[in-house]
Amino acid sequence: MWLIFTLALILLTISLIVMILASILSMKTINDREKSSPFECGFDPKSSARLPFSLRFFLIAVIFLIFDVEIALLLPVTIIMQQSSIMSWTLVSISFLLILLLGLYHEWKQGALEWAS
C-alpha cells in the first residue's frame, strides 16, 4: 500500500515539475509589433489578417462532427450483436440513440440548427 502511495507521490511531483518548467520556458519575453503582425511578402498588409467567422457555421460544424463521431461509434454495434445477448444489445442501442435524439431535440429547440435568423 505504501509503495503505491509513494509511487503516486513521485509521479505527481515529477509531473508538477515538468508542467512548471514548461510554463516558465514557454513565456514570451519580447512583444515586438513586427513579430506579432501578419507577414505578407515583406510588405505592409493591405487588410486585416483576421477575417470574420460565422458563429452559426461553427455551431453547425461542431454538431456535424459530434454526430459523425457518434455514427462511427454506432457502426460496430451491429457486429457486437452476434456476440452479446439480444436484450443487452437492444437496451444499449436504444439508450445510445435516445441520448442522440434528445441532444438533437435540445439543439433544435435552442435554435442552433437555424442557419438564417
Question: Residue 16: which pLDDT band, with cuts at 50, 70 and 90?
Answer: very high
Span 5-15, pLDDT tens digits:
999 999 999 99
Span 18-28, pLDDT tens digits:
999 998 888 76
Q: Give, in order, the Cα–Cα distances in Å from 28 to each of 15, 21, 111.
A: 22, 14, 41
pTM over 0.85: no
pLDDT of residue 75: 83
pLDDT of residue 43: 63
Classify the phi-psi angles of 111: left when phi > 0, otherwise alpha if psi is within -120 to 50, otherwise beta. Answer: left
- Using CA atoms in the order 101, 102, 106, 107, what is the torsion angle rounded to 10 degrees? -30
Tell me the domain boundaries of the chain: 55-117
